[in-house]
Amino acid sequence: MVNVAILGFGTVGSGVAEVIHKNGQHISERVSNQIALKYILDVRDFPDSIFADKVIHDFSIIENDPTIGVVVETIGGAKIALEYTRRALAAGKSVVTSNKELVATHGYELMQLAKEKNVSYLFEASVGGGIPILKPIRTCLAANELSQITGILNGTTNYILTRMIRAGLSFEDALKEAQANGYAERNPAADIEGHDACRKICILASLAFGRQISPDQVPTEGITSITLADVDYARSAGMKIKLLGRAIRRDSDGKVCAYVAPHLVQDESPLANVEGVFNAISVVGDAIGDVMFYGQGAGKLPTASAVVGDVMDAAKHMCYLKNNCWEAGGPDVVYSADEVPSRWYVRLSGAEAVEQARSLGSQNGESAWLTDAVLTPPQVQQLLAGREIKALYRVLE
Amino acid sequence: MVNVAILGFGTVGSGVAEVIHKNGQHISERVSNQIALKYILDVRDFPDSIFADKVIHDFSIIENDPTIGVVVETIGGAKIALEYTRRALAAGKSVVTSNKELVATHGYELMQLAKEKNVSYLFEASVGGGIPILKPIRTCLAANELSQITGILNGTTNYILTRMIRAGLSFEDALKEAQANGYAERNPAADIEGHDACRKICILASLAFGRQISPDQVPTEGITSITLADVDYARSAGMKIKLLGRAIRRDSDGKVCAYVAPHLVQDESPLANVEGVFNAISVVGDAIGDVMFYGQGAGKLPTASAVVGDVMDAAKHMCYLKNNCWEAGGPDVVYSADEVPSRWYVRLSGAEAVEQARSLGSQNGESAWLTDAVLTPPQVQQLLAGREIKALYRVLE
């Protein structure tokens, strides 16, 4: 028997309770051990829930209960969640989380603590919701030297861009629609400004390349400046605008460049065809070539699916994440996106020609261009010196 | 130190040697143990290979060498490969394979033998080449009750269909091109008649639903009868023809229907956009919803990537496949595809209208129709009674 405590009975936490309840027999058979939900910690009560009798308000009950083997942290944020995670690990309990902010900022510290205590700190649900991605990278692809990760990592922004592309909605209208459908928060900043995608590419890059990469090392640009004109110009070039998180390992010194920014993606690319709230993550390795993982990147039950998968691993005391996933970070881990060349899409005031670039047309006193040359950011800035830049996005090759 | 022996130095076997050689340090670090290639068994010698000194011709040397921990079987087929796998497992060595025929036909027996001997029998590379699929199903998605698997499981046929769709080549010309490019064998029957996809859906269905499903329980139709007329009619309906392997679990009794056949797939479906030699596998579970895995389904290094990933698991003596993956099969496992309804695409002699169907046009004395009604195979046969059926394919919903 493995007893489980859930911290935070919000969307994901209640999904975890539901999956354990609904598929309990099947889950227990799979791990050859009964998995039982014992406590739900929340500040609120839930008198109408079938789990009402499990709700408690005092974390120390969980901390001091030696029958609790696995703690599920679905509080979010990096304050109380950090404190409880530290205390649970210190008490010798494995911790499973969907909390990308905490893993992206404190992952190394918490894995070290788990290692000391010989327990697991697992976070498959922190990237791509229910999509299996972290464990496949760590195990199935372990024979590869990985070189690149490129992902549509945020469903809210992908939904907004899809509606701009497919229905011709403005950014503002698409955002409102996303909010009305429950795909965007009332305060959408973390999504539309790219911070959520930033945390996820940090976790992916740290896991794939072996050292902690922190959000403050990852230049992050959201989708708030993308207009319907950009969408149309991209279409005329056979491309779609997507918000991508990328991490690129430089062969010469093993340093990693990670960043989040809108990109123009060729229509034929599998990433261009990822629509609505779906996520997709492409991984390139020296043996595997290009492999892609696709699915619902958020949502109650998909995320709970990944959390409960980790609970089962922790319950079986599986070895795969008992070792540290990655080493400590530092300024020497990364190199600057200023050193990463690409072709560029640019929208400018005025219609005057741009050298080494082809025109995508002009309207309303603006013109759009696609550079033929492959340029670093400083080089493209130099090329455009003296012009008023309205939009500047990389083309994904 | 874990010593490895490779059986069969063909495409995949030599890829495995190459990956272990090239990424050896990285691989050994990952498993905290040195992985060393000791023997390569083949009937031939390879005097010009850097591995020439490892080549032997007598399996009993491997069988009787107590320092060999993992045997990689990349012989193929179910004759000598079966004998050597049995003997290696019986000698207490873990076996890793890319041999889909052997796993599809003798998987249960070999897993039982591995269990008795407390070793692993691992076969991630047998489905989808290097794409991580079996282990993610078994672990990351373990909290789900799975209901459906649908895959483009054979790169050769997908290449041929892609060339028919994109370049307007006939089946015969597309096959010749595939052979010229090394994507199809000189004798292409196993691919184009669907047998390769059949073995793979057997393995996926057995793993996902828990009991052995054998190729003789899986009705299998290839792509040899698909014409450019079918491709064009499909296009006019906003669809593409794809060869799919499917496995569907019936909720009422847990029985499984697995089959391989051409399907019409809506252009917007992620599966419709899987082109050339790529494979993709969609999995549906009660919590996760729809998740898809995409990548190169064959080829030397991608397949070797998956094999070496399994070698690393076996070397770490990981627990995940130590338990049986699935139970014994039997006639009670499956239900008939005759009970699975769908909409249908049909091409007929003559232009006489078909009830409950819309016309896709007519030419050369034939007409094509898409049924509005959702019908089982006997029902659609009844609907078309008296007509000469030239092509009859399901529409994937």
pLDDT tens-digit map of A51-82: 999 999 999 999 999 999 999 999 999 999 99
E-only strand ranges, chain B: 2-7, 35-41, 55-56, 68-73, 94-97, 121-122, 146-152, 239-249, 256-266, 278-285, 289-296, 343-349, 357-363, 366-371, 389-395
DSSP string, A271-285: GGG--TTEEEEEEEE
Q: State whether residue A135 sits within 8 Å of chain B by CB.
A: yes
Average pLDDT of span A311-326: 73
pLDDT above 70 for A322: no
Q: Tell me the mean pLDDT in the region A206-215.
A: 96
| Among A292, A319, A324, the residue to mutate for chain B (most B Cβ within 10 A) | A292
Whether residue B200 lies in the annotated active site = yes
Residue A275 CA: distances (Å) to CA of A127, A149, B19, B210: 18, 19, 35, 33
Confidence at B318, pLDDT banded by 50, 70, 90: low
Residue count (chain A): 397
Percentage of chain B lying above the pLDDT 70 cut: 98
Alpha-carbon gap, residue B108 to B112, rounded angstroms: 6
- B396 DSSP 8-state letter: P
Asked whether the beta carbons of A301 and A18 are under 8 A apart, the reply is yes
Instruction: Please give the pLDDT value at position B324.
Output: 58
Tell me if A318 and B316 make a contact (CB, 8 A cut-off): no
Nearest CA in chain B to A143: B309
The tens digit of pLDDT for each residue in A147-170 reads 999 999 999 999 999 999 999 999
Long-range CB contacts for residues B28-34, cutoff 8 Å, separation at least 24: B30/A142, B30/B312, B31/B2, B31/B312, B31/B315, B31/B316, B32/A323, B32/B316, B33/B1, B33/B2, B33/B315, B33/B316, B34/B1, B34/B2
Tell me the average pLDDT across A33-54.
96
Section A212-217 average pLDDT: 97
Region A261-273 average pLDDT: 94
Helix (H) or strand (E) holding A40: strand A35-41
B290 lies within 8 A of chain A by CB: yes
Which residues of B are less than 8 Å from A274 in CB distance?
Answer: 270
Tell me how close the Cα of A390 comes to any Cα of chain B, in angstroms.
Answer: 32
A31 contact residues in B (CB cutoff 8 A): 142
To the nearest whole number, what is the mean pLDDT of chain A? Answer: 95
Check residue B31 and give its pLDDT. Answer: 87
Report whether A383 contacts A344 (CB < 8 A).
no
Instruction: Give the pLDDT confidence of B240-272 residue by residue, as tens digits.
Output: 999 999 999 999 999 999 999 999 999 989 999
pLDDT at B316 (0 to 100):
83
Question: Are A294 and B291 a contacting pair at CB < 8 A?
Answer: yes
CB-based contact A287 B295, cutoff 8 Å:
no
> What secondary structure, in 3-state letters, does A354-385 show?
CCCEEEEEEECCEEEEEECCCECHHHHHHHCC
Per-residue pLDDT tens for A352-375? 999 999 999 999 999 999 999 999
Average pLDDT, chain B: 95
Of B200, B240, B242, B322, which is the active-site residue? Answer: B200
Q: What is the pLDDT of residue B121?
A: 95
Cα separation, A84 vs A75, whole angstroms: 10
Take residue A47 and report the two structure tokens written for it.
């008198």
Q: Which amino acid is at B356?
A: Q
Residues 6+ apart with CB under 8 A from A132: A124, A293, A306, A309, B132, B136, B139, B140, B141, B291
Q: Residue B344 pairs with which residues in a beta bridge? A: B394
* Per-residue confidence band for A30, with pLDDT thresholds at 50, 70 and 90: confident
Interface of B with A in 199-238 (CB under 8 A): none
For residue A31, the model assigns a pLDDT of: 87
As annotated, the active-site residues of A are 200
**What confidence category does residue B322 fall into, taking pLDDT thresholds of 50, 70 and 90?**
low
The chain B residue lying nearest A27, using CA atoms, is: B143
The ipTM value here is 0.91
Q: What is the number of other CB atoms lying within 10 angstroms of the CB of residue A132?
A: 27
- At B32 the pLDDT is 85
Work out the pLDDT band at B325, boundaries 50, 70, 90: confident
Tens of pLDDT along B335-354? 999 999 999 999 999 999 99
| Mean pLDDT calculated for residue range A86-113 | 97
Contact: B292, A295; criterion CB under 8 Å: yes
Sign of CA dihedral B170, B175, B176, B178: positive
> Cβ distance B224 to B193 under 8 Å?
yes
Give the span between the Cα atoms of B158 and B175, in whole angstroms. Answer: 11
- Unique residue bearing structure tokens 């005097």: B47
**Best to test chain B binding among A120, A140, A266 (most B CBs inside 10 Å):** A140
Q: Is the pLDDT of residue A324 over 90?
A: no
In this prediction, residues A199-210 reach a mean pLDDT of 97
A294, B141: Cβ pair inside 8 Å?
Answer: no
From chain B, pick out residues whose CB is under 8 angstroms from the CB of A135.
135-136, 139-140
- CB spacing of B130 vs A288 below 8 angstroms: yes
What SS3 string covers A74-110? CCCCCCHHHHHHHHHHHCCCEEEECCHHHHHHHHHHH
Closest CB from B22, B143, B291 relative to A295 = B291
Length of chain B: 397
Contacts (Cβ under 8 Å, ≥6 apart) of B204: B127, B133, B134, B137, B149, B151, B245, B247, B281
pLDDT score of A349: 96
- Looking at residue A178, what is its pLDDT? 96
